[in-house]
Structure 1
Amino acid sequence: MNATQRRRHVALLQATGYEDSPALTVQSTDGEIPQGRELSFAWLSGTVMTGLTSVLLMGAALYVSFQGQDTFSTAYAALNLAAPRIDQPLATDLTSKTSRLRPIAATRSDREIVEAATRQMVDGREIIRNQPFVRISATLATTSTALSADVPAYDPVAILNKTQPLTSAALDIATDVYGTDVDGEVAVNQTEMPASFVPSRAVSDQAAADFVRGMANAQFSIDGGTPALAYAALAPTLRDLATTEAASVNGVAENVTVVPKTTLATGEGPGRTERFLTVREIGPLRDTLMRNGFSPAQVGMVENTLANLMPAGGLPAGIRLRILYGPLSQFADSLVPYRMSIYRPDGAPGDRHIATVALSDNGQYVVGLQPDWIDFPAEDVEQINVGNLPTIYRSIWETGRKHDLNDDTIERIIGMFAYDIDMTKRITAGDTIEILEAGDTGEGSPDELLYVSLTLSGTQRELYRFTTDDGVVDFYDPSGETGKRFLNRRPLEGGGTLRSRFGYRIHPIFKTRRLHTGVDLAARSGTPIYAAGDGVISYYKWQSGYGNKVEIEHVNGYETAYGHMSRYADGLGVGSRVRQGQLIGYVGSTGQSTGPHLHFEIKINGNLVDPLSVKLPKDNVLAAQYRDEFDQTIAQINDLMAREPASVSVAQAN
């Protein structure tokens, strides 16, 4: 701008109150007006430090007040300090804002004693005696509680040691079911038939010959079709096999991924869930609470709180329990009981309530008011929160401990299915497990596992116990195959965390779309890597992109590869023979890698396949010579699973 315009702007600024003053300075003696335009660094620093100190002190005070919890309204929501409302519908976590009802799943949890007369060999004698069997039929737990909080971390390699065949002769359990019940014990002696004994004839030789001749010459019509000899019936058609006109043949699809219509919110944090159950056989309240996620310390607090609230005659049979669960913090992997209410089995809604206890902010259980009334369903149910659904591994532990299975039995059950199932996946509501054990006969022998059935997403897998002539005890499916697979799908300690699946993806380094030839299992650097199966090392050195790499050739055209190792195991090289579960190296980030992980590949006849979903051959198959005896064992165990329970049964609360 020119001088005239500049003077005009100055005049306008002066007219509005602005003035031309000296600049700010840090020297108090500069300028025309001393002590008027200076800056004080001491004052500025003091102001900033005062603000920071205030924020830290307030944050510390809040943290201490709430004991590090991020949920501050537990006690208020749990105690529900308001008069209960009657005739409320069953559905729901009213503490969460949602536009849809949370699903309610019926649950089943039965532990029954079944008695059957079995044939047993004792000191060379055949004896028929009554044998108790423990039968468990339950839905898999949909909530992780303190009951399974201390279970070992999932380690697929360690499971190998839990699936080895049993060899002790003492573990040979008789399942040969006798045709009728017996009182006490019956010894069976077998002797040769006397040579002088001749049975009377029921049919003469001539009558038998006439019968055979008549059957051979007779003709029969099948559905009005071509006549056929009676002893040579036509093979049934597909239509004949159908149970109805509209029936279809069903099978189990292999090598396919089943995707539910509604994607589970697996990324959600844990939320609140509520369980409604009936205690059908009354016993100590402590046992029921322990089976439903209360720790021993919590049980003690609940018993002390309820000491003066219980009826004088004790709790009646068939009492109803309503338990609300929730997390202690956002990062907790187990839920704790927030509130428990006890109800009588009958009576007016307002008179059924016996007592309610609720968890306060200081971790104590205190007396609470009755929550809003709801009509208890006929069956036990549990509100399902998708953020609470545990992994298959955790759910089997939770369910097993709820039914008093020992830890060794639970680990064997997991090991038997670990090769077929990804134990790190979450369960689906309604998944079930059935177990049969040989019960204690009074001689102090522990319960021994005979049968396990696991149903996940509608697919049932069954394993039966069988003993071969050499005394080896193992579990086989109805086709005579064990649950153990030829290869381990996650061959590193702890199984790793799946970071990238098999298939096309955007390469994390080159940012181009490429085929990912295996799966990436993330783990800490130095985590042991094991051979997925028995084989011979065919490659054992650096390879561009893969870093330190090992390749193993297995039988029948199978190959596995392990990339990005930090270092190799000592004493191995090309040509070394390795067994399944043998240490071959350690997790690292060598080659083209963005972090420590194992890149694991499987090839079949030179073709790359998805290691997590490809169908793998079984490791062991029952010899053909045992087929008839094994079929008989299956029939006997199925008979035990279908029998009515004994007069003394224990139906545990869900």
Structure 2
Amino acid sequence: MNAAQRNRHTALLKATGFEDSPALTVNSSDGELPQGREISFAWLAGITLTGLTSFLLMMAALQVSFRGEDTFSTPYEALSIQAPTRTASLGETLQGKTRRAKPVTQTVSDRQIIEASVREVVDGVARIRNQPFTRIEATLATAATTLSEDIPDYDPVALLARNEPMRANGSSDAVSTDIYGADVEGEVTIRTAALPLDLTPNRAVNDVAAAQFVRMSVEGAYTEAELSTFSYAAIGNERLRELDVRPSNVVAGIAENVTVLPMTRFGDGSTQTRTERVLTVREETPLDEVLIRNGFSNAMVSAVIRAMRNVMPQTVMPAGTRLRILFGASRTSDSLIPYRLSIYADTTHRVTVALTDSGQYVLALEPPAIPFTDEDTEEVNVANLPTIYRAIWETGRKHNLDDQTIDRIAAMYAYDLDLTRRVSPGDSIDILLSGSPRDDEQDLLYVNLKLGNTERELFRFRTEDGVVDFFNSDGETGKQFLLRRPLEGGGTLRSRYGYRRHPVFGDYRLHSGVDFSARTGTPIYAAGEGVVERAQWFSGYGRYVEIRHANGYATAYAHMSAIADGITPGTQVNQGQVIGYVGSTGVSTGPHLHYEIKINGHTVDPLAVKLPRANSLPPQYNAEFDQTVAQIRTLMQHESSQPSVTVAATN
């Protein structure tokens, strides 16, 4: 670059504000303005460390806030982010913009300890002693939680095997329901002795002795309400009823040609799966017990108590404490899991804990307020209603019944009811057990399952040979003559009995049986004891078996993939014996069992026909059994020796 070019560049640089100055240096003594051109290592190091420290602190704060999550959304309904501004009804809570509010039903979970004086005979000696009994009266669960997640799979044939009569053991022999008419203290032994022949009664009694006898035996011994025990004719309207003379306020007559149906059920179109339960702790109870009985697992209980420790360290719930539990769908099972728990001291909010996306329970704001009532309540969602089978297990475990007793109860109703049908709100169960909950073993004495408007009672009875079984009030067992779902696991009901449009041919015709879908190869059982009439390929039925039973009954099984070995015409089969396997042979749209019941050659609805019982008490036990029924009914009406305790385990 020549001198002219260099001068031109220098002029341009000066014009733009640049100047020719000494280079930057770390020595403050060089240059005319060293303070403007010097480099400070201390300043540079400070700036670098400040930036690095700020970056690390920001990253740490974000990591702690987000807990390592890659998503930070939390359901609005599960964690309230605004303080409630109004009081909402339970049905409106968490409802959002829906067209209808979810119905709310009252739930009952009552456990009473009944003390009664019973009479029993041991080694020929009669004793009268106080015997405790436990009565459980509860509505069937309307939501399935983790409490019943590990129950045995529903299998009607397996239930049949578990419902065999029991042999009385030592504890069973000691159970007595013979109610003595008066209360006793301790234990009274009664001995019978012959009247001495030389004992001569006095011919007369003096006035003093007569007056004393009256005072001791008559005066004050009976109340006005009990005076009817001395009369030959009943007091009130009983005599009028005998003479068929009825007061004007008594409705007479018997309804005929009337079908009794349960109360109207709610529509099945609901897809909402969340439901809220409100319950009251009636007696001082540890929080973990309350939560376990209401669908919390042990891990959930620990997480909840840990989350509320700083706000509410007390883990024993005093009487009057109210709990609101919001349940929602689980990602890993068909059970509902607790999304949110709120605890109230009467109506004052104490603490709320809610579930986050990562499965942790953390403190949350109080949910929208609702009006509390004296009764325990629960939102009912048809999508959440469990089967009768699971509802029995859920309710039994809530009340600390052992699994063997619960399984026995389910087995006793397995062939009188379709246990795969869903429960209805208000269905309930009443149970009577010997002893108190503190006893190691309690014997089941009585069960009453109330479904809709029907009740099915079963009473425990022991015969002279030591066999214990359960019978209805007519002395019949709950075992049916024929199985209604004769395949392993019961299958899934796909098509009912009645007229329908044929899925293959498209015409409208009678479907003469019921279809249960199941995997190909699922074992099919003989519905009852009988003789094989046909075992072959039969037109559109494919591989087909027909069995003749007693009293004009017959059953048929169609579309089998294979007929079991040894099942040929003339073969005698027993109830529960494998006769074939599910398939899709013949005119069929998929693997299923087509099952028919015929009476005198005419098909009937297998799920609705009233079937004869398989076993009844011999006539010689009728009087003793009637006495047992009367005694148990007396116990069920007996006043509790303790205040009624509502267990914090409502539905």
Same fold, judged at TM 0.5 (above):
yes
Instruction: Determine the C-alpha separation between the residues in 1 that align with 2:336 and 2:264.
Output: 27
User: Which residue of structure 2 aligns with residue 246 of structure 1?
Assistant: 251
User: Which residue of structure 1 aligns with residue 503 of structure 2?
Assistant: 508
User: Which residue of structure 2 aligns with residue 580 of structure 1?
Assistant: 575
Q: What code does the residue aligned with 1:336 have?
A: I
The answer to whether structure 1 residue 287 and structure 2 residue 289 are counterparts is: yes
User: Which residue of structure 2 aligns with residue 438 of structure 1?
Assistant: 434
User: Which residue of structure 1 aligns with residue 12 of structure 2?
Assistant: none
Structure 2 unaligned residues grouped into runs of 5+: 1-67, 205-232
Moved more, 84-93 or 628-637: 84-93
Q: What code does the residue aligned with 2:528 have?
A: G
Q: 1:290 to 1:248 in 2, by over 3 A?
A: farther
User: Which residue of structure 2 aligns with residue 343 of structure 1?
Assistant: 344
Q: What does 1:116-131 correspond to in 2, within 5 Å?
A: 116-131=116-131
Q: CA RMSD in A?
A: 2.8
Q: What does 1:13-32 correspond to in 2, within 5 Å?
A: none
The answer to whether structure 1 residue 302 and structure 2 residue 298 are counterparts is: no
**In the alignment, which of 370, 381, 386 is matched to residue 382 of structure 2?**
386
User: Which residue of structure 2 aligns with residue 456 of structure 1?
Assistant: 451
1:82-122 alpha-carbon deviations (Å, 9 max, x no partner) = 11235333322434432222211011001121111212233
Q: 1:320 to 1:606 in 2, by over 3 A?
A: same
Q: What code does the residue aligned with 2:85 have?
A: R
Q: What does 1:154-165 correspond to in 2, within 5 Å?
A: 154-165=154-165
Instruction: Determine the C-alpha separation between the residues in 2 that align with 1:125 and 1:396.
Output: 40
User: Which residue of structure 2 aligns with residue 522 of structure 1?
Assistant: 517
Equivalent position SS for 1:381: strand
Q: 1:307 to 1:479 in 2, by over 3 A?
A: same
The answer to whether structure 1 residue 479 and structure 2 residue 474 are counterparts is: yes
| Aligned 8 A contact 2:113 2:436 in 1 | no
Instruction: Determine the C-alpha separation between the residues in 2 that align with 1:652 and 1:295.
Output: 18
Identity of aligned residues (%): 54
Q: Please state how far the C-alpha of 1:162 moved relative to its aligned partner.
A: 2.1
**In the alignment, which of 584, 590, 602 is matched to residue 585 of structure 2?**
590
| Aligned 8 A contact 2:287 2:316 in 1 | no
Instruction: Determine the C-alpha separation between the residues in 1 that align with 2:138 and 2:123.
Output: 38
Q: Please state how far the C-alpha of 1:168 moved relative to its aligned partner.
A: 2.5
**In the alignment, which of 185, 188, 191 is matched to residue 189 of structure 1?**
191
Instruction: Determine the C-alpha separation between the residues in 1 that align with 2:507 and 2:201.
Output: 87
Query: Which contiguous aligned blocks of 4+ residues in structure 1 show a shift greater than 6 angstroms?
Result: 64-67, 198-202, 233-238, 250-253
Q: What code does the residue aligned with 2:345 have?
A: R
| Aligned 8 A contact 1:270 1:332 in 2 | no
Q: 1:92 to 1:575 in 2, by over 3 A?
A: same
Instruction: Determine the C-alpha separation between the residues in 1 that align with 2:356 and 2:447.
Output: 41
Instruction: Determine the C-alpha separation between the residues in 1 that align with 2:596 and 2:188.
Output: 59
| Aligned 8 A contact 2:526 2:573 in 1 | yes
Instruction: Determine the C-alpha separation between the residues in 1 that align with 2:490 and 2:246.
Output: 44
Moved more, 641-650 or 148-157: 641-650
1:39-65 alpha-carbon deviations (Å, 9 max, x no partner) = xxxxxxxxxxxxxxxxxxxxxxxxx97
Q: What does 1:304-323 correspond to in 2, within 5 Å?
A: 304-310=306-312, 315-323=317-325
Q: Please state how far the C-alpha of 1:452 moved relative to its aligned partner.
A: 0.3
| Aligned 8 A contact 2:557 2:593 in 1 | yes
Q: What does 1:247-646 correspond to in 2, within 5 Å?
A: 247-249=252-254, 258=261, 261-262=264-265, 264-265=267-268, 268-269=270-271, 271-310=273-312, 315-329=317-331, 332-345=333-346, 352-439=348-435, 446-646=441-641
Equivalent position SS for 1:159: helix
Equivalent position SS for 2:164: coil
Moved more, 124-133 or 315-324: 124-133
Instruction: Determine the C-alpha separation between the residues in 1 that align with 2:108 and 2:475.
Output: 30
Q: What code does the residue aligned with 1:246 have?
A: V
Q: What does 1:92-131 correspond to in 2, within 5 Å?
A: 92-131=92-131
Q: Please state how far the C-alpha of 1:197 moved relative to its aligned partner.
A: 5.1
Q: 1:257 to 1:511 in 2, by over 3 A?
A: farther
Moved more, 371-380 or 287-296: 371-380
1:433-474 alpha-carbon deviations (Å, 9 max, x no partner) = 0000012598x6511100001111121111111111221111
Q: Please state how far the C-alpha of 1:491 moved relative to its aligned partner.
A: 0.3
Q: 1:108 to 1:263 in 2, by over 3 A?
A: closer
Q: 1:310 to 1:480 in 2, by over 3 A?
A: same
TM-score by length of 1: 0.79
Instruction: Determine the C-alpha separation between the residues in 2 that align with 1:124 and 1:237.
Output: 42
| Aligned 8 A contact 1:252 1:459 in 2 | no
| Aligned 8 A contact 1:540 1:549 in 2 | yes
